[in-house]
Amino acid sequence: MPYFAGIDVGSLSSDAVIIDGDANILGFSVQPTGAHSTNAAEAALAEALDKAAVSRADLAYIVATGYGRVSVPFAHKRITEISCHGLGAHHLFPDTGTVIDIGGQDSKVIRLDKFGKVVDFSMNDKCAAGTGRFLEVMAERLGVSLDQMGALSQQAQREIEISSVCTVFAESEVVSLIARNQPKAEIIRGLHKAIVGRVWSMVKALGVTGAVTMSGGVAKNQGVVKLMEAKLGQKVHIHSEPQIIGALGAALAALRGGKA
């Protein structure tokens, strides 16, 4: 049986997914991108192949996506991450009409038709506000890990407003709040609210259709997810590993011979 690979090279992580001819996920990997995108793509593919118990020689087609897709010389084709996130989300959750992807350096809202084709999208790629990098900077300043932030925000007794969505100015606000001995949980909840507010402006502009699927590393943060669900007035779909949605979409495009 032939096998197919999708590789999503992002700013913070490089992800790979291996599927078979029936579009079953056989293995996947999430690796830090670091300073060398090509090495990260190679490492992600190697681990995914190992988990799938598939050799590289058995791969019939490889599609690369993500901002670093040009750094994957062994890919047969390179496709925009917008199309791949749509494909991946629709494959996992066929009722998906809207995808909210909060990645390391950008955030995207994508509207799909009933076949998973992209109808329209909005993307914030000019500023780190509303992204994983924003949270990473704030976690470092607060002295907590990214993994802790979601749970900590649930402990907040009240809300603290973070007035700026700019990473630099928001960081100054956080420093000031720390100096005033404000509880970390309440600061984190304020940061989550700022991220959701930034992404929500794109959601409102584009409109919501169908079920909503969240992808990207920030989808692992329950603090952000719960605030987004409250804004939407509905539960959102989240895969057990939301960072692989783009790579899965790329693998599905590979299965189609490079057609998104």
- Average pLDDT, integer, range 132-149: 85
**156 closest CA partner among 177, 136, 132:** 177
- How crowded is the C-beta side of 139, counted as CA atoms within 13 Å? 19
Task: Please give the pLDDT value at position 137.
Answer: 84
Task: Please give the pLDDT value at position 125.
Answer: 59
Structure tokens at 28: 């996947």
Interval 6-25: pLDDT, tens:
999 988 899 999 999 999 99
Task: Please give the pLDDT value at position 26.
Answer: 98
pLDDT at 129 over 80: no
**Which one is predicted more confidently, 199 or 259?**
199
Radius of gyration of the chain (CA): 18
Please count the other Cβ atoms lying within 10 Å of the Cβ belonging to residue 44: 28
Cα–Cα distance measured from residue 167 to residue 128, given in angstroms and rounded to the nearest whole number: 6
Please count the other Cβ atoms lying within 10 Å of the Cβ belonging to residue 113: 13
Cα end-to-end distance, the chain, whole Å: 22
pTM (predicted TM-score): 0.90
Q: What does DSSP assign to residue 105? A: S
Domains of the chain and CATH, by start:
1-93+243-260 (3.30.420.40), 96-238 (3.30.420.40)
Cα–Cα distance measured from residue 127 to residue 53, given in angstroms and rounded to the nearest whole number: 40
Cα–Cα distance measured from residue 230 to residue 249, given in angstroms and rounded to the nearest whole number: 28
Q: What is the dihedral of CA 148, 166, 182, 152, to 10 degrees?
A: -20
